[in-house]
Amino acid sequence: MEQLKNNRWVVLIVGVILIFICAGTVWASSDGHATAKQSEIAGMGACELTDVVFDEVFHPALSSRTAAWTQDDEKAADSSADKQLDSKQSAAKDQSVTEDKAKTSSKKTQTKDSSNVSDKQKSAQKQAQSAAVSAQKSAAATAAKAEAKAKAETAAKAAAKAEAKTAAKAEKAAKTEASSDAGAATVNTSPKKLFFTRTELLSQDQASEATWTYALSDEDLLLLERIVMAEAEGEPYAGKVAVANVVLNRLRSADYPNTIRDVIYQRYQFSPVQNGRFDRVVPSEDCVKAVKDALNGVKEVPDNTYYFVSISLATDMTIPNTRTPVKKIGHHTFFK
């Protein structure tokens, strides 16, 4: 050993020669294609390569066992790699199956949820429609009740109104009858005194309101009856009362004379006085009654009515053209 240590360079040269010899042999056997073992040898250092060469030369069985072990390890590694690859592929397949199942389950769940939502929506729509129909029916029933109530109230009001109207008519008829009875009691007697305000003739019951009075004589009464007969002999009863009203309105007015005689005989006022008819007529029963009614406050025309004209017979149209018509009774039109 001491000799080997002293001759290390010789050993190194011998090792290099052996390496070249081994490399040529291996190359020749593999047709120039390097194996994994050769590659491994090429990567070794000089000392390591020398050891390998010595092992292969002096211990061929150990080298064979080592190669077998290496092959077994490589096969085991390959098998392990294959198993790992198979395991990974199986895991990937399982994962894919799991994902497919999850997707299918999700789709089924979504479909079911969608179906449930659709069913809920349909149920909600049906409930809303049912509620709307119920509301419409309720509103219709309420409207019908309100309409029936309104009709009943209208009928009740109409009945009450008719009843009130009937009662008013009865009361009016009773008053008219009482007035007729009172008038019948006074028809046979004319008042002895007339009561006036500045604007109207008052009835005998309104004497306390009078601003001035007029004492009626028998001559005044006869003059009134004759002027009514002369002017309205063929006129309706209301027309006779209206003529007496005009004479009394002039008696009240400050624009005309202060006595019935002077009013009737005033120049150019009453045509029967001018043509003599006034002096020839004899008052009828209706004219006498009409005068008494007028003296007792019956008025067919207002207190401001001072004129009347028979339009169809008049030759002077001054009054119709200058005065305001108030009322037409028979052939006479009355003006204020």
Distance in angstroms (rounded) separating the CA atoms of residues 208 and 215: 16
Q: What backbone torsions phi and psi does residue 315 show, to the nearest 5 degrees?
A: -100, -20
Choose from 133-147, 165-179, 219-233 the range with maximum mean pLDDT. Answer: 219-233
**112-122: pLDDT as tens digits:** 666 565 677 77
Length in residues, the chain: 336
**pLDDT > 70? residue 157:** yes
**pLDDT, averaged across the chain:** 79
Give the distance from CA 130 to its chain's centroid.
24
Q: State what percent of residues in the chain have pLDDT above 90.
A: 40
Q: Which two tokens stand for residue 122?
A: 């349909």
Tokens 């046979």 belong to residue = 188
**pLDDT > 80? residue 203:** yes
**pLDDT > 50? residue 175:** yes
Q: Compute CA distances 288 → 110, 143, 238, 280, 315, whole Å.
A: 113, 66, 13, 16, 29
> What pLDDT, on a 0 to 100 scale, did the predictor assign at position 257?
95
Give the distance from CA 14 to its chain's centroid.
121
Distance in angstroms (rounded) separating the CA atoms of residues 210 and 200: 9
> What pLDDT, on a 0 to 100 scale, did the predictor assign at position 297?
92
Nearest to 26 by CA among 46, 53, 62: 53
Dihedral angle sign, alpha carbons of residues 78, 79, 80, 86: positive
**65-85: pLDDT as tens digits:** 556 666 666 676 666 677 777
- At residue 229 the predicted structure's pLDDT band, cuts being 50, 70 and 90, is very high
Choose from 140-154, 165-179, 199-213 the range with maximum mean pLDDT. Answer: 199-213
**pLDDT > 50? residue 179:** no
Tokens 């240590």 belong to residue = 5
> What pLDDT, on a 0 to 100 scale, did the predictor assign at position 137?
82
Distance in angstroms (rounded) separating the CA atoms of residues 91 and 86: 8
Distance in angstroms (rounded) separating the CA atoms of residues 262 and 253: 13
Average pLDDT on 115-133 reads 75
Q: Which two tokens stand for residue 161?
A: 């109104």
**24-39: pLDDT as tens digits:** 776 665 554 445 455 4
**pLDDT > 50? residue 210:** yes
Contact by Cβ (8 Å): 331, 309: no
> What pLDDT, on a 0 to 100 scale, did the predictor assign at position 265?
96
Task: With residue 180 as reference, give the H or E element that holds it.
Answer: helix 60-187
> What pLDDT, on a 0 to 100 scale, did the predictor assign at position 194?
94
The pTM (predicted TM-score) of the whole model is 0.46
The more confident residue out of 93 and 252 is 252
Distance in angstroms (rounded) separating the CA atoms of residues 221 and 244: 11
> What pLDDT, on a 0 to 100 scale, did the predictor assign at position 14?
81
Q: Which range, of 32-46, 198-212, 273-287, averages the lowest pLDDT? A: 32-46
Compute how many other C-beta atoms are within 10 angstroms of the C-beta atom of residue 334.
23
> What pLDDT, on a 0 to 100 scale, did the predictor assign at position 310?
92
- Quick one: DSSP state of residue 43? T
Contact by Cβ (8 Å): 256, 307: no
Three-state DSSP class for residue 254: coil
The more confident residue out of 166 and 127 is 127
Q: Which range, of 10-19, 39-48, 298-307, averages the lowest pLDDT? A: 39-48
Q: Which range, of 34-38, 168-172, 298-302, 309-313, averages the lowest pLDDT? A: 34-38
**pLDDT > 50? residue 180:** no
Exposed / middle / buried, residue 260 (Cβ in 10 Å: 0-12, 13-18, 19+)? buried
**pLDDT > 50? residue 277:** yes
> What pLDDT, on a 0 to 100 scale, did the predictor assign at position 32?
47
